Amino acid sequence: MGELLRVDDLTCGYNGTEVIRGISFSVNDGEFAGIIGPNGSGKTTLFRAIAGVLKAWRGRIIYRGRDIALIHHSELAKEVAVLPQLLEVAFQFTVEEFVMMGRYPHIPRFGRTTRRDLVEVEKAMEMTGTLSMRRRMISELSGGERQRCLLAQGLAQEPRLLLLDEPTAHLDIGHQIEALDLVKGLNREKKLTVLVVLHDLNLAGEYCDRLLLLSEGRIHSSGKPKNVLTYQAIEEVYKTVVVVSTNPISSSPYVLPVPKIFRGEKA
């Protein structure tokens, strides 16, 4: 299992203010890696830099041995699918039309969709459970349904690397599990490499092979969930008291917050 993505001494930010400071890590082919950290730690900034939306001030982001700054976006889009946190659609599209947009990197300029494009779109909708709503308008869908359509669009690209920015942020617990089960299944069965930003520490511990814990724009710790999600690390980074237990079914770490009332402190 070789290295697919490498972030090397990355520094970037906004309006002259550094948000990410000298971050370095790599993601192996077929890995399911997660980025966690409190609000303001730099998770989304790091995601935007890797996605090519934000330019690096220093350092490089290497995909399959090439600096992404030197790879044309249309070429990169054939292998890397980026799924943002929110789905905002300015125009009216059916679900099928929206998912078909994932095929655009594979369609030559002024070219037409082929049988292969139609097959991949159908396959992506089937995998995400959106096939039955193919004729519905995106604007009519619930948040959970839109999230599945966004995932279908990403899968229609036939990516080698899937970048997800808090894919469960606006979903209820049922749809959170459904979405991550789907991605984990693709990771295992199709060897799809996944890098995901997650807010929920328990979901991160349950689904990710490896975690990067960010604090103030730097990597505080990285490794297997059981080695990163310790009560010492969480209390230091999140500035709150927790108990870390073990899920009796999966043996994954499970984080339990301890409210001030149970610590003998005033709220």
The residue-averaged pLDDT of 85-104 equals 83
Question: Parallel, antiparallel, or unpaired: how do β-strands 218-223 and 66-67 relate?
Answer: unpaired
pTM of the model: 0.91
Contacts of range 102-110, beta carbons closer than 8 Å, 24 or more positions apart: 102/152, 102/153, 102/154, 102/155, 102/156, 102/157, 103/156, 103/157, 104/77, 105/74, 105/75, 105/77, 105/78, 105/157, 106/78, 106/157, 106/158
Q: What is the rounded distance in angstroms from the CA atom of residue 205 to the CA atom of residue 209?
A: 8
Q: What percent of the chain has pLDDT over 70?
A: 96
pLDDT, tens only, 35-48: 999 999 999 999 99
Q: What's the confidence (pLDDT) of residue 264? A: 67
Read off the amino acid at residue 200. Answer: D
Phi and psi at residue 147, to the nearest 5°: -65, -40
pLDDT, tens only, 226-255: 999 999 999 999 999 999 999 999 999 999
CATH 3.40.50.300 fits 3-79+159-263, yes or no: yes
The residue-averaged pLDDT of 78-94 equals 80
The residue-averaged pLDDT of 45-55 equals 93
Q: What's the confidence (pLDDT) of residue 266? A: 65
pLDDT bin (cut points 50, 70, 90) of residue 86 is: low
Read off the amino acid at residue 1. Answer: M
Q: Is the pLDDT of residue 1 over 70?
A: no
pLDDT, tens only, 106-155: 888 777 889 999 999 999 999 888 999 999 998 888 877 888 888 899 99
Q: Is the pLDDT of residue 91 over 80?
A: no
Measured in whole angstroms, how far is the alpha carbon of residue 128 from the centre of its chain?
16
Q: What is the rounded distance in angstroms from the CA atom of residue 77 to the CA atom of residue 167?
A: 19
pLDDT bin (cut points 50, 70, 90) of residue 32 is: very high
Give, as one character, the DSSP assignment of residue 94. Answer: B
Residue spans per domain, the chain: 3-79+159-263, 88-158
CB–CB of 87/150 below 8 Å? Answer: yes
Q: What percent of the chain has pLDDT over 90?
A: 71
Q: What is the rounded distance in angstroms from the CA atom of residue 200 to the CA atom of residue 208?
A: 12
Q: What's the confidence (pLDDT) of residue 132? A: 94
> Mean pLDDT across the chain, nearest whole number?
91
Give, as one character, the DSSP assignment of residue 189. Answer: H
